[in-house]
Every structure is written in C-alpha cells, then in structure tokens.
Amino acid sequence: MIRYIISRLVIAFLLLLGLITLSFGLVSLLPGDPAVALLGEYATPADVARINAQLGLDLPFWERYLDYMGRTLRGDLGQSFFTGSPVAAEIWTRLPNTLVYLVPGLILALVIGMASGTFAAYKYGRFADKSFTAGVSVLMAMPEFVLALLLLFIFYQQLHLAPAPLGMLSSADIPPPKVTGAVPIDAVLAGKWDLVASILGRAALPIITMGLFFAAPFGKTVRTGLLQVLNSPQIEFARACGLRPAQVYRYALSDVRGSLMTYMVLLFAASLSGAAIIESVFSWPGVGGWSLDGVLKGDVPVIQGFVLIMGATSLLGYVILDALITLLDPRTRSNAVAGRKRPQRPETAAVSA
C-alpha cells in the first residue's frame, strides 16, 4: 500500500514538473511583448532592452527555463510586472478569500445534486423526474454570470435580502489585525465573529450561485448513474434478498461511487476557473478576479502563478482521487497493494473520455 502511494506521489511530482514547463512555455506562446506592454507603444528600443534585461528576458532560453524551474520549486513565483508585489504572497492572501465561498458552494452543489438526482432516479419517468430534467436543462444552459445576476436581481434588488455585491468586507467592517494576511483566517484567529458573520453574509450569493450552477451537472450524473445501477442484476438480487430500501440505496451508491468521485474532482477543477467570473460579478477579492485582471493586462507572472496554482490543485485532486478509487475497490486494491501490474483506471477514464 505504501509502495503504491509513493508511486502515485512520484507520478504527481513528474506531472508537476510538466505543469511548470507548460506554464513557462505559456509566456512564449502569449501574444505581445511584456516590455512593450509595460512601457506602452512609444517606448524607445533602449528602454525595451533595459526592461528586458531587468526582467531577465534577454537570457538564453535554457537559462531562463532552469532559472524559472528552480525558483518555482522553491515557491518563488516572481513579481507582478505592474504592481511589483510578489505573486506567491498575493495568491496566499487571496486564495482563502476564494475558498470561503468556493468550498461551501461545492458542498452545497453536492448536497443538492445528490438529493435531487437520487429523487429523480427513484421517480424515473414520473412528474418529479421530468421537472428535474427540465430544471437541469435550464440551469445548464445558463452561464454562471447570468445565474449570478439573476440571483442578485431577486435577492438584492427585489427582496433586499442580500448585501450589495461590493466585495467581501463592507466599508463599515474593520479589517482584523494582520496575522496571516488572509482576512477570513485572521478574522477567525482574532475571534471577531461579527466580522466572520459579515463575510459569510456577503458570501451567501456566491455560494448559492456556485451551488446551483454545479448542482445541475452533478445531479444529472447522479441520476444517470443511479438509473443504470437500479436496473442492474446486482440491485435486482439485493431486492430479491429482501434488503431494505436504505440498504439497496447503499449498494447502488457503492457501485456509482467511483464515477461520482471523479465527477466531483472535475467539478472542483472547473469551479476554480469559474471563480474568475463569479468574483468579477461580486467584486470579490479572490484569486479569480485578480488573475482575470492579470490576463487582461498581460501580466505574465500573475498568469503563470494562477495557472500553476490551479493546475497543482487539480493535480493534487486527481492524485488523491486516483488513490482513493483504487484503494476503495477491492478488485483494484489487491493489485495495487501487491504491487503487481499497475491497475487500470476504468472509472476515471470512462468519465474524462
């Protein structure tokens, strides 16, 4: 088992190196010259050369690559071209702001998706199932920002239940004393529960947006998976043995578990990139809006930092998922633990295909 986990970690590390290479290559592929972007259209060649030397862009390719690789592995993601602030520090202070609404949003999506998908599968072909399918189609046809604006219209403009989409803190809120630099964590550390409540109140609409947006595809996956299992000989035999409905449901879940877990990680990866849009709508000071800003300005270290952190997070998610799926299923576990032929990944492959 330990050998298996180590082999996974080695593969993850190799993939990480590939990711860093990709993020390095991204810069060369991007249109536009950073020096020109910084200095404007009318820069003199001397100024451009000076900036290039300052940024290290005049060095040979290999030197730049190895330098970048070394710095990145040490956790140094460079400085923003425009603000000069270190990218790594910026990410560490902003990532908690994103996670404040992202994680609850995803959990909400899982709960709604699981419950409604299960309900629809059990009511297959009836009114409840048909309305579920219709609802999913509507939600899936709706871009994230439309859903966000719709919710703002209803809960902020019409019902006055939600606060204005003006960020994580209101002007009346006093920021907590700086400990980690991440406001939500500092608020908890300082024990300022009114501030925590204020943040959560402002996070409510982003959470609901995320929850509804990702509940639709997840619920659909749950329904499809369960429908297949509920009609399978395995469930028929379980019912023929007189198992209780709750037991039958547990058997059915154990069958779709792998593909649902895979889908959760896919949604998690998708939600990270979707964060940019949500954060723009709600003026949220997270990594998404910040990186979108960087992309629009052509701020290369910011883009690289964002790609790296999102890629690494997804990578971590997939490695954990892969190990979990293999170890949860006795059929693949025995192979993995015995260290024989590397197990196939039927579930992961089936969903991502």
Partner 1 sequence: MTTRLQVRDLVTEFDTRGGTVRALHGISFEVGQSEAVGIVGESGSGKSTVVRSVIKLLMPPGRVAGGSAVFSGQDLLQLRERDIRSIRGKEIGFIAQNPFSALNPVVRIEKQFANIAKAHGLPVDGASREHALQLLAATGVNEPQRVMHGYAHELSGGMAQRVVIAMALFLNPRLVIADEPTTALDLTVQRQVLDTLRRLTVDSGRSMLIVTHDLGVVAEYCDRVLVMYQGEIVEQGEVSQVFVDPQHPYTVSLLNSVVRPEGDAAPAAELSESWRP
Binding site for partner 1 (CB under 8 A): 124-125, 230-234, 236-244, 247, 251, 254-255, 328-331
Q: State the nearest-atom distance from the C-beta of 253 to partner 1, in Å.
A: 10
Q: State the nearest-atom distance from the C-beta of 257 to partner 1, in Å.
A: 8
Distance CA 350, CA 335 (A): 20
Closer to partner 1 by Cβ: residue 27 or 243: 243
Closer to partner 1 by Cβ: residue 121 or 152: 121
Residues 215, 217, 219, 221, CA torsion sign: negative
Distance CA 103, CA 293 (A): 23
Q: State the nearest-atom distance from the C-beta of 326 to partner 1, in Å.
A: 12
Closer to partner 1 by Cβ: residue 316 or 328: 328
Closer to partner 1 by Cβ: residue 40 or 242: 242
Q: State the nearest-atom distance from the C-beta of 255 to partner 1, in Å.
A: 8
Query: For residue 177, which amino acid is it?
Result: P
Closer to partner 1 by Cβ: residue 250 or 342: 250
Closer to partner 1 by Cβ: residue 178 or 244: 244
Rg (the chain; Cα; Å)? 24
Q: State the nearest-atom distance from the C-beta of 221 to partner 1, in Å.
A: 19
Closer to partner 1 by Cβ: residue 231 or 273: 231
H or E element at residue 305: helix 300-328
Task: Find the length of the chain.
Answer: 353
Q: State the nearest-atom distance from the C-beta of 338 to partner 1, in Å.
A: 13
- Contact between 232 and 127 under an 8 Å Cβ cutoff? The reply is no
CB-based burial of residue 206 (10 Å sphere; 0-12 exposed, 13-18 middle, 19+ buried)? buried
Q: State the nearest-atom distance from the C-beta of 242 to partner 1, in Å.
A: 3
- Closest listed residue to residue 188, CA positions, set 198, 196, 177: 196
- Contact between 246 and 238 under an 8 Å Cβ cutoff? The reply is no
Query: For residue 40, which amino acid is it?
Result: G
- Contact between 67 and 255 under an 8 Å Cβ cutoff? The reply is no
- Token pair in block for residue 345: 């990944």
